[in-house]
Structure 1
Amino acid sequence: MDTTALRSAYEEFFEMAALPDLGDAADGGWDTDQVLAHVLSVDAATTAVALGVVSGARPAFDNRICLDGGNLDRIIGAHAGRAGLIDGVRHQAAVLCDVADRLDEASGAVPVPTLLMSGDEVLVDQPVPLADLVHGLAANHVPGHTRQLIELRR
């Protein structure tokens, strides 16, 4: 699987995440650390699904844990400040890309039962090919959170 677009999306994301003037959302939404923790959680979950497919398992992808405030707080607390959190996200993104780089076409075509939520809204509730999950990170997920970080600039 080609992860060029995903790696490029992450580089833009990390450029924004490293800015010193990121703060809280005006609308009471996620702050910078919560956005970072969410991206780390999604990347880890996607990596786990990809490895599950390779192992012959039939894993499902459900992003609700990646939205859970308690889980995000746990991830934030496990890292030493914003810089440590950014490093953690960078590491997890690299692991995901490295695993995805090694997926063959057959693995990428495996349908993964998928539940994607945004708040209380169901975005996807159907099987999605593994390759589409990974490519969706590059096309939508990471750029969307990059824009979210831009909006958190003070």
Structure 2
Amino acid sequence: MTLSDAFADLLVTAAKVGPAPSPGPGEWGAEQILAHLTVVNAVTIGAVASVGAGFPATYDMRAAHDPWTLARVNSRTSLARLRDQGQALCALSSSLSPSELDTLIPALLISNGEILVDQPLPLRDLLTGLADVELPGHRAQLLAL
């Protein structure tokens, strides 16, 4: 799946679901999922922009799981912002050369408090993971609400 398609699918689903209550203690509702994705997108845009500018980049997802950060970001999150972030990320990443996409980025990926990855990954793999795993996974969460 392309990154653009993954964003489009997510946005269509999020628009249909609307603001749904949290499914239970410790679980995320639609607002928390979208706030999480807003932070994920911001971190990813930062990494892609840094590589494109020739600056050192990192990819640290801790803030995307932090309850305080998600509560703060929640008030700023909207489908329009997610759409714009997706468009910006697609445009920026498509402008990178193959060697830039192969740039190793120190990455810390977590899920449910568990470290999934703590090692350098090619930027290309981070973008592929966003398109093939992260966005579809959260789309499925939204559909389950």
Considering the TM-score relative to the shorter chain, is it more than 0.5?
yes
> Residue 25 of structure 1 contacts residue 151 of structure 1 at CA under 8 Å; is this kept in 2?
no
Separation in 2, partners of 1:20, 1:121:
28
State the Cα distance separating 1:101 from its structure 2 match. Answer: 1.0
Aligned match of 1:56 = 54
| Farther-moved stretch of structure 1 (138-147 vs 14-23) | 14-23
- Residue 12 of structure 1 corresponds to which residue in structure 2? 9
Structure 1 gaps, min length 5:
80-84
Q: Paired residue for 2:40?
A: 42
Counterpart Cα distance in 2 of 1:91 and 1:118 = 25
Compute the TM-score of the two structures, normalised by the length of structure 1. 0.87
Show CA shifts across 1:45-92 (max 9, x none): 10101111122222110000011111111111125xxxxx11111111
**RMSD (Å), alpha carbons:** 1.5
Percent identical pairs in the alignment equals: 33
Runs of 5+ unmatched residues, structure 2: none
TM-score (norm 2): 0.93
- Determine if contact 2:106/2:120 at 8 Å carries over to the other structure: yes
C-alpha separation in 2, matches of 1:44 and 1:144: 18
Following superposition, which runs of at least 4 residues in structure 1 exceed 4 angstroms of deviation?
A: none
- Distance in 2 (CA, whole Å) between partners of 1:20 and 1:8 is 18
Size of the aligned set, in residue pairs, is 144
